Chains A and B, each alone.
Chain A
Amino acid sequence: MAISPEPRPVPPISGGSLREADLPGVAAITVPTRAAASTSPFVEGIRRLRKSVTALVGVAIVAVLLVVALFADVLAPQSPIASNQAQTFQRPSWDHPLGTDQLGRDMLSRVIHGTRISLLVGVSSVLLALFVGVPFGMIAGFYGGRIDTAIMRVMDLILAFPIYLLAIILMVIFTPTAGLIGTMKVTGAIAIVRIPIYARLVRGSVLSIKEKEYIESCRALGQHDPTILFKHVLPNCLAPIIVTTTLGIATSIIVEATLSFLGLGTQPPTPSWGWDLKANVAFIQANAWLSLFPGLAIFVTVLGFNLFGDGLRDALDPRLK
């Protein structure tokens, strides 16, 4: 739609073409219609994501895992913690499709229930890191000066640590336990080492966004800082945050499995893939199947989030490649 100050018909103008110079007086102003505005970068991104086969495979794996985690009680044929001394080290059979471990526990049920711990820790630790790291990064980048220095010094202090050294010591301080509390401790330890990643990422984005003209116009309109930060700055640095979060879940799941493998994750009897793998390696001669399945479960889960995250990155922010 073209608004013209003069009643005579004006040809519609598409962008800064040479024909603009031909127009008399005030140039016609093109007003973007609703239809044009609706193709936001995110809609574009989702469209691109749907075209990527690997990303869709990732989404499918993640979706299946979510279902397994949610309905673990229904899906698992037996209790993951009920031991049966008469049936130890069984090879895969109809009764026990993945065999049984040294306590006669059904491996399939343990692997199914392990999905819960793995996804819970993977997702919640990243979200926790996100909810702490992003505000700090935004404040540091937006206000600069002493606040920036203070926040980023603390973040650099955490980053200066080799990540596993910090995570291991944190877990020793928290003293690993079983059940939900134990899972929350692991979540906390992994979240702490991941906070600076978000703070740095967001600070960098905010530094460039805050110089943009639309932020200046927000200021000119008299908007308050929180409004500017949450309504105008944050949405513009969402793409890298989303990508980092998805790929971060994959990393967190590996870190959780590693901590469990070292005996510092959620403690038994709560089923955890890393712990099961470690426990069964000791019996690798007796039953090689046992350590295979928890390991495969970790691999498939991490692969799912990696494929999904890779697809998201290509779709949302090609510059991050």
Chain B
Amino acid sequence: MRTYILKRIFEIVPTILMITFVVFVMMRSVPGDPVVSLLGDAYTEEDAIKAREAYGLNKPIVVQYFIWLGKLVQGDWGTSILSGRPVLQDVMIRLPVTLELIVLSMGVALLIAIPAAIIGAIRQNTWSDYTATTIAMVGVSIPEFFIGVLFLLIFSIGMGGLLPSSGWMYLPGTCPTMVCGASIWGNVQHVLMPAFALGVGRAALLTRLLRASMLEVIRTEYVTTARAKGLAERPVVLKHALKNALIPTVTVMGLQVGFLIGGAIVVETLFAMPGLGTFGIDAIIARDYQQVQGFALITAFAFVVINLLVDLTYTFLDPRIRYA
């Protein structure tokens, strides 16, 4: 097990290198030059050449990448050309916002999906099953931003500003700078709509997958055996059926991480949250090379680490699965 985890951790490195390298090359093929936007109206050819030299933009792309990488291993994520701020600092300010959003939305998804899938599966073809599957079908067909807009209409405008439509309030203790406001209630108010907007779609998808695999598992012999030996329905469903049904579901949820990142970008944009999603999209559109690299790095890292966690979850769900 330990060698397996070590092996996987070593595999993470090339994947991250590859993703960041491809992003690096792609961003530099984007039409437009950050130096032009940096100099703005004061643009002269001489200043532009000086600026390119100062930021190392005149060197070959591969050389530039290795310079970035060399600084990275020393803990320097580079400095934004446009804002002049260190990238790592910005990422650290925005990370807690996105982390909270994603963790809560996954919580919302699990809280809705697991009961809905269990009810749908053990009462297959009854009204409760039809209701669960219909709602799930509607849920997978609504894009996150439209759910968000509906929430805005109901809770922010309809209920006279019950929940704030945009912005952010940090949890006490997570506030990265001196200027941001922090309160538990304020944080809850700000995170509720985004977390549900992002979570509802995942919940719908999870319900559909989990219900389908529950239906398969419930018909297996070990579930019949568990019932036959006199186990109560509850442990049969929760310990024998659910745990095994979760395996294929976890796989697909792992594959969904890419969509979750997109969802975070969209939801953060809609609710004007100062998270990594808005950081990334703003950086990409402004062609802020260094910030985009920082965003790609942390996204790639999250992506591979979550996929590793998915694989490790299997051993918990099914102890027969062992990694040599």
Question: Is A254 within 8 A of B152, CB to CB?
Answer: no
Q: Does B13 lie at the interface of the complex (its beta carbon under 8 Å from any beta carbon of A)?
A: no
Question: Is B153 within 8 A of A284, CB to CB?
Answer: yes
Question: Is B261 within 8 A of A162, CB to CB?
Answer: yes
Q: Does A295 lie at the interface of the complex (its beta carbon under 8 Å from any beta carbon of B)?
A: yes
Q: How far is the CA of A157 from the CA of B23 in the complex (A)?
A: 12
Q: How far is the CA of A306 from the CA of B205 in the complex (A)?
A: 12
Q: Does B70 lie at the interface of the complex (its beta carbon under 8 Å from any beta carbon of A)?
A: no
Q: Does B26 lie at the interface of the complex (its beta carbon under 8 Å from any beta carbon of A)?
A: yes
CB contacts (< 8 Å) of A71 on chain B: these are none
Q: Does A258 lie at the interface of the complex (its beta carbon under 8 Å from any beta carbon of B)?
A: yes
Q: Which of A163, A170, A264 contacts B258 (CB 8 A)?
A: A163
Question: Is B258 within 8 A of A161, CB to CB?
Answer: yes
Residue-wise, chain B 142-178 has the 8 Å CB interface mask toward A (1 for contact) of 1101100110110001000000010000000000000
Q: For chain B residues 116-150, which have a beta carbon within 8 Å of chain A? A: 137-138, 140-143, 145-146, 149-150
Q: For chain A residues 274-321, which have a beta carbon within 8 Å of chain B? A: 274, 277-278, 281, 284-285, 288, 291-292, 295-296, 298-299, 302-303, 306-307, 310, 321
CB contacts (< 8 Å) of B212 on chain A: these are 321
Question: Is A288 within 8 A of B153, CB to CB?
Answer: yes
Interface-central residue, B15, B29, B157, B262, by most chain A CB under 10 Å: B262
Question: Is A258 within 8 A of B146, CB to CB?
Answer: no
Q: For chain B residues 259-285, which have a beta carbon within 8 Å of chain A? A: 259, 261-262, 265-266, 269-270, 280-281, 284-285
Q: Does A69 lie at the interface of the complex (its beta carbon under 8 Å from any beta carbon of B)?
A: no
Count of B interface residues, CB-CB < 8 Å: 43
Q: Does A257 lie at the interface of the complex (its beta carbon under 8 Å from any beta carbon of B)?
A: yes
Q: Does A128 lie at the interface of the complex (its beta carbon under 8 Å from any beta carbon of B)?
A: no
Count of A interface residues, CB-CB < 8 Å: 43
Q: Does A84 lie at the interface of the complex (its beta carbon under 8 Å from any beta carbon of B)?
A: no
Q: For chain B residues 273-324, which have a beta carbon within 8 Å of chain A? A: 280-281, 284-285, 287, 296, 299-300, 303
Q: Does B73 lie at the interface of the complex (its beta carbon under 8 Å from any beta carbon of A)?
A: no
CB contacts (< 8 Å) of B269 on chain A: these are 261-262
- Rounded to whole Å, the gap between the CB of A302 and the closest CB of chain B is 4
Q: Does A164 lie at the interface of the complex (its beta carbon under 8 Å from any beta carbon of B)?
A: yes
Q: Does B30 lie at the interface of the complex (its beta carbon under 8 Å from any beta carbon of A)?
A: yes
Question: Is B149 within 8 A of A291, CB to CB?
Answer: yes
- Contacts A162-B303, A163-B259; A175 near B31 (Cβ below 8 A): yes
Q: How far is the CA of A291 from the CA of B143 in the complex (A)?
A: 13
Q: Does B18 lie at the interface of the complex (its beta carbon under 8 Å from any beta carbon of A)?
A: yes
Q: For chain B residues 38-97, which have a beta carbon within 8 Å of chain A? A: none
Binding site for A on B (CB under 8 A): 15, 18-19, 22-23, 26-27, 29-31, 137-138, 140-143, 145-146, 149-150, 152-153, 157, 165, 212, 257-259, 261-262, 265-266, 269-270, 280-281, 284-285, 287, 296, 299-300, 303
17 A-B pairs with CB atoms under 8 Å apart are A54-B137, A157-B22, A161-B19, A161-B22, A162-B303, A163-B262, A165-B280, A261-B145, A262-B265, A277-B146, A278-B145, A284-B149, A284-B165, A292-B153, A302-B142, A303-B138, A303-B141
Return the 4 tightest CB-CB contacts between A and B, nearest first. Answer: A164-B262, A295-B146, A162-B258, A303-B141
